[in-house]
Amino acid sequence: MPESRKEPKSKYTADRNIPGAFEGETVTRRRFMTLTTHAAGGIATAAVLLPALGFAAGSALFDRAPVLWTPVGKPEDFPDDNYLPRVVTLTQGIGEVGKATVYVRRFNPEFDAQEGMPAPPETDAPVIVLSSRCMHLGCPIRWTAAAERFICPCHGGVYGFNGEVVGGPPVRPLDRFYTRLRNGQVEVGPRYSVNSEFRRFPSYRDPGQPLDGIGQYLYPGRFSTPKNP
Ligand code: FES
């Protein structure tokens, strides 16, 4: 019995008797539209998904800036009822641009150990170090001892003695800095952010990002934030 051989299918849709096929067409218009729609859907999904995945996995994939510690003096150099300004290095190798003013005072149980306030880790030096960056849009704030307020000149932001917001548009208290004691010297390390109850967040957030309620989930820390001690 002769072996039956299957005729190879023609690549042209007209030869395959597909309804509505045109002469010389190899892909039906329906199939073409389906593929185009799938491709467009894939691109749109990737545009949303890839940045989110990069953000989530970023800290594991990219090197973070090294942690820098700047000595600023002995604990007894600082009063516990007033702030002294000090300059610390935040980013190495870019000169003055990498430096920032911070405000330092000694730990004071009257202000820092009130009910409901989180206890500072034992590894911290007995000082409080506040950032001079306004939590509205990032302008430099200034400590005004006579009024016991930090004042921002840009839009009238006002902060109380602990850096809590008492007026104007800032969305959260002033950022703080990790500290440690080495050879009797207070060293100032990475910056971190706090919410209105002074709960410490493991890394800092940008100005304008509230950290109370749902805000703490909407604004995750950047992967470029230096690793905390
Ligand atoms: S930047 Fe400080 S109040 Fe606007």
* Two tokens, residue 94: 């870019």
Q: Sign of dihedral through CA atoms 208, 212, 216, 218? A: negative
Residue 177 pLDDT: 93
User: Strands, DSSP E only, in the chain?
Assistant: 70-73, 84-89, 99-106, 127-131, 142-144, 149-151, 158-159, 165-167, 176-182, 185-194, 200-201
**pLDDT at residue 11 in the model:** 80
Q: At 30, is the secondary structure helix, strand, or coil? A: helix
pLDDT in tens, the chain (229 residues): 555 667 777 888 878 777 777 778 888 778 889 999 999 999 999 999 988 887 666 655 666 677 889 999 999 999 999 999 999 998 888 888 889 999 999 988 888 876 666 666 667 888 999 999 999 999 999 999 999 999 999 999 999 999 999 999 999 999 999 999 999 999 999 899 999 988 888 778 889 999 998 888 887 766 656 555 5
- Are 211 and 219 within 8 A, CB to CB? yes
Distance from Cα 27 to the centre of ligand 1, integer Å: 60
Ligand 1 nearest atom to the CA of residue 153, by list position: 2
Phi, then psi, of 223 in degrees rounded to 5: -70, -20
Distance 205 CA to ligand 1 centre (A): 16
User: Which residue's CA lies nearest to atom 1 of ligand 1?
Assistant: 137
70-218 classified as CATH 2.102.10.10: yes
Q: What is the pLDDT of residue 64?
A: 65
With CA atoms as reference, report the closest residue to 80 among 125, 114, 110, 118. 110
- Atom number of ligand 1 nearest to Cα 156: 3
Give the helix ranges, DSSP H, for 92-209.
Answer: 109-112
Domain range summary for the chain, segments of one domain joined by +: 8-62, 70-218
Closest protein CA for atom 4 of ligand 1: 155
Question: What pLDDT score does 74 carry?
Answer: 93
Q: Which residues line ligand 1 (CB under 6 A)?
A: 134, 136-137, 139, 152, 154-157, 168-170
Amino acid identity of residue 126, one-letter, is P
Measure the CA dihedral 31/32/33/35, to 10°.
80
pLDDT of the residue at 159: 97
Q: 44 CA distance to ligand 1 centroid (A)?
A: 37
Question: Given this model, what pLDDT does residue 118 score?
Answer: 66
Q: Which atom of ligand 1 is nearest to the CA of 139?
A: 1
Asked if 74 and 185 touch (Cβ cutoff 8 Å), the reply is: yes
Report the atom number in ligand 1 closest to the C-alpha of 137: 1
Tell how far the Cα of 9 is from the centroid of ligand 1, in angstroms: 72
Q: What is the pLDDT of residue 60?
A: 59
| pLDDT of 92 | 84
Look at residues 130, 154, 161, 144 and name the one whose alpha carbon lies nearest to residue 208. Answer: 154
Please give the angle made by the CA atoms of 83, 106 and 176, to the nearest 5 degrees: 70
Instruction: Locate the ligand 1 atom nearest the alpha carbon of residue 152 and give its number.
Output: 2
CA 220 to ligand 1 centroid distance, Å: 22
The C-alpha R_g of the chain, in whole angstroms, comes to 30
SS3 44: helix
Q: Which residues contact 122 (CB under 8 A, 6 or more apart)?
A: none
